[in-house]
A and B are shown apart, each in its own frame.
Chain A
Amino acid sequence: MSVERDYDDLARIDRTHVSLYKDQGVYNDEMERIFYRSWIYVAHESEIPNPGDYKTTFMGDVPVIVTRGQNNEINVVINRCTHRGVAVCPLEKGNTPSFVCKYHGWEFGMDGELLAVSMPRGYNEGELDFKSLGLVAAKKVESYRGIIFASLLSVPDISLDEKLRGVKEYIDMYMDFSPVGEIIVGNSGVNKHYYHANWKIQTEGSVEGYHAPVTHSTAFDIMVRKMGMPPNYQGYGTKGLDGGYGNNLLEVYSLPDEAVYKRWPAEYIDLMIEKHGKERAMHVLRHRFNLVIFPNLAILEYQFRVIRPMGVDKTEVRMYHTMLKDAPDDINTRRVREHEFFYSPAAFGGPDDYAMFDRAGQGMKADMVPWILFNRGIKSEEVDEHGRRYGGHTQETQQRAPYFEYRRLMKIGGQS
């Protein structure tokens, strides 16, 4: 029996109800209304560069295969044989001309089309309809700057262009750290974390300015002493931004030009200026930010972070390290070293975050203390020239932002 919940009341402007992090019924609604019917990140095109390449991933609880067909088209199909329910692809990634279910030999093309079955003479005429028995394909698949999003069961009520409108400038900036505007995702390593609490804690936590000097005092100490980070974290004047449709951003820093020259070698800056022009190159190099594309992707520093709900109280987080195409080797090596400094399971930052997320899973067992608070800075929030709400980076505009889209999707189910 389904219970209709009042999501406007459970996800308020300045607080969320603890049941959103614990209740199986809420989780089921999230799967149905967000993860199966709105834009979900599935892969970056650089992960499947050649025809026949595929990777398997999950959209909510559903196993899917992201493929590149012989014509270079990208497909997203459900990894479930239409005959008897068996996953047709048992690997995480690879290259193949087709997918053959090894239970009864049904063969599917890269776009999911049913090509052949074993021992077809056992079917009488009218018992096997090839046309309707392909792997179920996502209703919509689109990319922006190589980032592939899909919607599984219905066409979202907003275009991908509209979904990303408020944060495209930051996606573009992230790509343009490469002199040729292209990145390579995951080839240089993937951190595979999990924690014992709800997925939304990582969505909120990927753009957390407030916790940084508390949880990460040991890492920040080193970043200030040895990595050229500014010491005055509170007073630095960077923003937390609501980019619309749940997307949001934490500005980590916005450097003056002399700091850019201190942070990056002249060879790299010159190459960037040569390829992008001086104004664009310096604009890109001044910035560092954490960007959440609601619900399951965060693009930050040197990683694509993919958030996968695994039930109401367990979450997998994968950090796909990113490299800059055609950047000098020493720049990419620095991206490797600085990433592993903060984010590996033995690093100076990430393990402390996951300790906090596990502790959140513990504290939120207390149903009778119902509210999770996001009201920090709500009275001083301002609106920028693009109509985006923003506050200070240690305030909670970024944590409030996802719930505008959450309320919208949980009410309409994301259907047009």
Chain B
Amino acid sequence: MSANAIEQMTRAEAEDFLFAEACLLDQGEVNAWRQLFTDDALYWLPYSRDANVDPTKHVSIIYDDMEMLDERIKRLQSGDCHAQIPGSRTQHSVNNVRVKTVDGVVIIDSYLTLHEYRANRQDRFYPLQTMAANCEHKLVKQGGEWKMASKKVVLLNCDGEIYDLSFLI
């Protein structure tokens, strides 16, 4: 047995992790979802499809350290995030999962198909939104649990016209 076997993850295990994460988001278990991140993690939605985009020189859609993510969650739960009144329902479908390990970090690449809908809107007829994205999760083991050291979501239309992304992806 190799000494670093503990840092490996099978595709089935990676899928289980991503399915569980999706389930927390879709069921509104936001605080439990937050606990999946390490304390120094990054939650990143770039504005560019360029894999080499420099987030210090280019605006992102989201570039949250955990302090900012906590603020984001607090805002979403405050009742004063007007863009989320009424709130979004989401359904995260995860597929095309691939796993690799680089320098002791497990990297999961996946495709995300996201459906989003808002019931109870005064203007009615809210169109069911469909979004597609490439995700990259970097996982590390902490206290026997897999944690997200980063989650990067690159929308297919990240640099296009977007109505609203005030929900968690």
Q: When A345-B164, A346-B45 are in contact, do A189 and B59 touch as well, CB less than 8 Å?
A: yes
For residue B61, give the distance in angstroms from its CB to the closest CB of chain A: 5
Q: How large is the interface on B (under 10, 10 to 19, 20 to 34, 35 or more residues)?
A: 20 to 34
Q: When A351-B83, A354-B83 are in contact, do A336 and B161 touch as well, CB less than 8 Å?
A: no
Interface 9-residue window, one of A8-16, A75-83, A120-128, A191-199: A191-199
Residue in chain A with minimal CB distance to B63: A340
| B36 interface residue (CB < 8 Å to A) | no
Using a CB-CB cutoff of 8 Å, which residues 127-169 of chain B contact chain A?
159-166, 169
Residue contact B57 to A352, C-beta cutoff 8 Å: no
| B30 interface residue (CB < 8 Å to A) | no
Residue contact A193 to B57, C-beta cutoff 8 Å: no
Q: How far is the CA of A140 from the CA of B101 in the complex (A)?
A: 60
Q: How far is the CA of A369 from the CA of B62 in the complex (A)?
A: 40
Q: How far is the CA of A332 from the CA of B59 in the complex (A)?
A: 11
Residue contact A340 to B123, C-beta cutoff 8 Å: no
Q: How far is the CA of A362 from the CA of B121 in the complex (A)?
A: 11
Residue contact A336 to B55, C-beta cutoff 8 Å: yes
Q: When A218-B78, A218-B81 are in contact, do A345 and B123 touch as well, CB less than 8 Å?
A: no
Total A-B Cβ pairs within 8 A? 94
| A356 interface residue (CB < 8 Å to B) | yes
Q: Looking at A194, A222, A344, which has the most chain B CB atoms within 10 Å of its CB?
A: A344
Q: When A355-B83, A358-B123 are in contact, do A336 and B56 touch as well, CB less than 8 Å?
A: yes
Q: Of B61, B75, B85, which is within 8 A of A344 by CB? A: B61
Q: When A344-B59, A344-B60, A362-B122 are in contact, do A351 and B164 touch as well, CB less than 8 Å?
A: yes
Residue contact B59 to A336, C-beta cutoff 8 Å: yes
Per-residue B-contact encoding for A335-348, CB less than 8 Å = 1, 0 else: 01101110011101
For residue B59, give the distance in angstroms from its CB to the closest CB of chain A: 3
Residue contact A346 to B59, C-beta cutoff 8 Å: no
Residue in chain A with minimal CB distance to B75: A218
| A154 interface residue (CB < 8 Å to B) | no
By a CB distance below 8 angstroms, the chain A residues around B166 are 345-346, 351
Using a CB-CB cutoff of 8 Å, which residues 24-45 of chain B contact chain A?
45
Residue contact B59 to A188, C-beta cutoff 8 Å: yes
| A172 interface residue (CB < 8 Å to B) | no
Per-residue A-contact encoding for B57-74, CB less than 8 Å = 1, 0 else: 111111100001001100
Q: When A194-B163, A316-B161 are in contact, do A345 and B61 touch as well, CB less than 8 Å?
A: yes
Residue contact A345 to B165, C-beta cutoff 8 Å: yes
For residue B138, give the distance in angstroms from its CB to the closest CB of chain A: 20
By a CB distance below 8 angstroms, the chain A residues around B160 are 192
| A333 interface residue (CB < 8 Å to B) | yes
Interface residue tally for chain A (C-beta within 8 Å): 36
Residue contact B60 to A215, C-beta cutoff 8 Å: no
For residue B40, give the distance in angstroms from its CB to the closest CB of chain A: 17
Using a CB-CB cutoff of 8 Å, which residues 97-132 of chain B contact chain A?
122-123
By a CB distance below 8 angstroms, the chain A residues around B72 are 348
For residue B9, give the distance in angstroms from its CB to the closest CB of chain A: 29
Using a CB-CB cutoff of 8 Å, which residues 297-342 of chain A contact chain B?
316, 321, 323, 329, 332-333, 336-337, 339-341
For residue B117, give the distance in angstroms from its CB to the closest CB of chain A: 16
Using a CB-CB cutoff of 8 Å, which residues 181-206 of chain A contact chain B?
188-194
Q: When A192-B162, A346-B45 are in contact, do A362 and B59 touch as well, CB less than 8 Å?
A: no
| A95 interface residue (CB < 8 Å to B) | no
| A217 interface residue (CB < 8 Å to B) | yes
Residue contact B57 to A346, C-beta cutoff 8 Å: no
By a CB distance below 8 angstroms, the chain A residues around B48 are 189
| B11 interface residue (CB < 8 Å to A) | no
Q: How far is the CA of A97 from the CA of B162 in the complex (A)?
A: 33
Q: How far is the CA of A341 from the CA of B164 in the complex (A)?
A: 15
Residue contact B164 to A354, C-beta cutoff 8 Å: yes
Q: Of B57, B83, B122, B164, which is within 8 A of A336 by CB? A: B57
| B82 interface residue (CB < 8 Å to A) | yes
Residue contact B81 to A188, C-beta cutoff 8 Å: no
By a CB distance below 8 angstroms, the chain A residues around B123 are 358, 362
By a CB distance below 8 angstroms, the chain B residues around A316 are 161
Residue contact A193 to B62, C-beta cutoff 8 Å: no
Q: When A192-B161, A346-B166, A352-B83 are in contact, do A333 and B57 touch as well, CB less than 8 Å?
A: yes
Residue in chain B with minimal CB distance to A188: B58
Q: How far is the CA of A358 from the CA of B60 in the complex (A)?
A: 24
Q: When A193-B161, A345-B166 are in contact, do A356 and B82 touch as well, CB less than 8 Å?
A: yes
Using a CB-CB cutoff of 8 Å, which residues 128-180 of chain A contact chain B?
none
For residue A333, give the distance in angstroms from its CB to the closest CB of chain B: 4
Residue contact B122 to A340, C-beta cutoff 8 Å: no
Q: How far is the CA of A227 from the CA of B37 in the complex (A)?
A: 25
Known pairs A222-B71, A351-B83; list 11 more (Cβ under 8 Å): A188-B57, A193-B162, A218-B80, A332-B56, A333-B56, A336-B56, A344-B60, A345-B165, A351-B166, A352-B83, A355-B82
Can you name 5 A-B pairs with beta carbons within 8 Å? A189-B48, A219-B75, A341-B68, A344-B60, A362-B123
Using CB atoms and an 8 Å cutoff, list the residues of chain A in contact with chain B.
188-194, 215, 217-219, 222, 226, 316, 321, 323, 329, 332-333, 336-337, 339-341, 344-346, 348, 351-352, 354-356, 358-359, 362
Using CB atoms and an 8 Å cutoff, list the residues of chain B in contact with chain A.
45, 47-48, 55-63, 68, 71-72, 75, 78, 80-83, 85, 122-123, 159-166, 169
- CB-CB nearest 6 A-B residue pairs: A189-B59, A351-B83, A346-B165, A351-B166, A218-B75, A333-B56
